[in-house]
């Protein structure tokens, strides 16, 4: 099946890619491996041509899962992974030094069971290391044939431009949804101007805009239980805002997830949406967005639904925010 495509470097990829993190990490209960394998292969069957993982996810288990599940179909998809954030001896590590990046890439290749990763992101900015040095490590990995393209994640427009001066950046990944608009400050336009693909992770706001959250009774280990917008007392207020979004989706003949994805994709031809799911039914719902017309008036109405001053609670805890370099919105409060 062929899906609508967007451009990533010198290649087309499906406009909706698949984030693989929650098959091994961060949300709810990890599914049985047979279900995860079935979902990954179903995504490829439906025309998804970009899969996104990272060294951090599940302490490397997510990369191992992809290695077992889909590497026999390697020619069918663009493979993206991430370094700098990693698990070292069971502990979370942020290290953007060239030596750490080189070692992380080698470990990722081994876990994935491949000799080449198409797109390697610097997962976060290590402020102790000049971005030029970190990008230089990726350039050497390109020269060695280990990776194909340079990516950045959750970095500012200034850092993107500095990185791009060392080597062309192919993709920038940041959280972006109708509820999280930080890339609109500068990053979205910087990517468009430089010819960089913008990859929007959490485009359905970690399930908030997919009808998945009605209370904060999360499974132990679910990262949303630590995120201020997703827990009481902020959550009840935010769900009142979401109710208007859900109603707009119903009026447009779409599901909330489809409206969120359509809105993200409408923000520019250089934008690729990166939802994740553990459910084949939800995967099929997400991909059906590309065949679900949404009135322009509905997309325009979504713009005004989640003003930063109306959302209760910051995006992250202080500790998590410390690793995020993306610009803040005017009026955004962190604590």
Mean pLDDT, 10 residues at a time, the chain of 335 residues: 94 98 90 97 98 97 98 98 95 97 98 98 98 98 99 98 98 98 98 98 98 94 95 97 98 98 98 98 98 97 96 94 94 86
**Three-class SS of 194-218:** HCCEEEEECCCHHHHHHCCCCCCCC
d(Cα 81, Cα 105) in Å, to the nearest integer?
Answer: 9
Q: Where are the domains of the chain?
A: 5-321
What element of type H or E holds 120? strand 117-122
Distance CA 172, CA 183 (A): 10
Measured distance CA(117)–CA(108) in Å, rounded? 9
pLDDT digits (tens, 9 = 90+) for 81-132: 999 999 999 999 999 999 999 999 999 999 999 999 999 999 999 999 999 9
| 125: nearest Cα among 88, 92, 163, 89 | 163
CB atoms under 10 Å from CB of 218, counted, come to 17
Could you tell me the fold of the domain covering 5-321?
Answer: TIM Barrel (3.20.20)
Token match 């132990």: residue? Answer: 220
The tens digit of pLDDT for each residue in 157-184 reads: 999 999 999 999 999 999 999 999 999 9
- The residues annotated with a catalytic role in the active site are 57
Q: In what order do the strands lie in the sheet with 78-83?
A: 18-19, 50-52, 78-83, 117-122, 147-153, 169-175, 197-201, 271-274
Host H or E run for residue 163 = helix 157-166
DSSP letter assigned to residue 177: B
- 74: Cα within 13 Å, side-chain hemisphere: 11
């Amino acid at each position: 099946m062929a899906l609508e495509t967007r451009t990533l470097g010198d290649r087309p990829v499906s406009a909706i890619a698949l984030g693989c993190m929650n098959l091994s990490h961060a949300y709810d209960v990890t599914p049985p491996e047979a279900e995860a394998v079935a979902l990954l292969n179903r995504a490829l069957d439906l025309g998804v041509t970009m899969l996104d993982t990272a060294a951090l996810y599940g302490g490397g288990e997510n990369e191992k899962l992809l290695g077992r599940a889909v590497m026999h179909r390697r020619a069918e998809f663009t493979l993206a992974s991430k370094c700098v954030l990693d698990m070292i001896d069971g502990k979370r590590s942020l290290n953007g030094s060239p030596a750490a990046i080189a070692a992380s890439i080698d470990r990722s290749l081994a876990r994935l069971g491949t000799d080449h990763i198409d797109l390697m992101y610097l997962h976060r900015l290590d402020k102790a290391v000049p971005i030029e040095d970190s990008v230089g490590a990726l350039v050497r990995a390109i020269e060695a044939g280990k990776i194909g393209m340079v990516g950045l994640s959750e970095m500012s427009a200034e850092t993107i431009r500095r990185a791009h001066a060392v080597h062309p950046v192919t993709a920038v990944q940041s959280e972006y949804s109708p509820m999280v608009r930080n890339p609109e400050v500068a990053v979205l336009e910087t990517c468009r101007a430089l010819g960089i693909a913008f990859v929007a992770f959490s485009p359905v706001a970690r399930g908030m805009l997919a009808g998945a959250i009605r209370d904060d009774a999360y499974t132990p280990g679910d990262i949303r239980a630590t995120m201020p917008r997703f827990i009481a007392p902020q959550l009840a207020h935010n769900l009142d805002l979401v109710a208007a979004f859900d109603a707009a989706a119903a009026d447009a003949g779409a599901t909330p997830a489809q409206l969120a994805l359509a809105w993200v994709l409408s923000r520019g031809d250089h934008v690729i949406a990166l939802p994740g799911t553990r459910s084949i039914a939800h995967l099929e719902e997400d991909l059906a967005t590309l065949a679900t017309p949404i009135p322009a008036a509905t997309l325009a109405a979504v713009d005004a639904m989640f003003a930063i001053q109306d959302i209760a609670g910051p995006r992250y805890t202080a500790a998590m925010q410390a690793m995020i370099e993306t610009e803040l919105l005017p009026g955004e409060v962190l604590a």
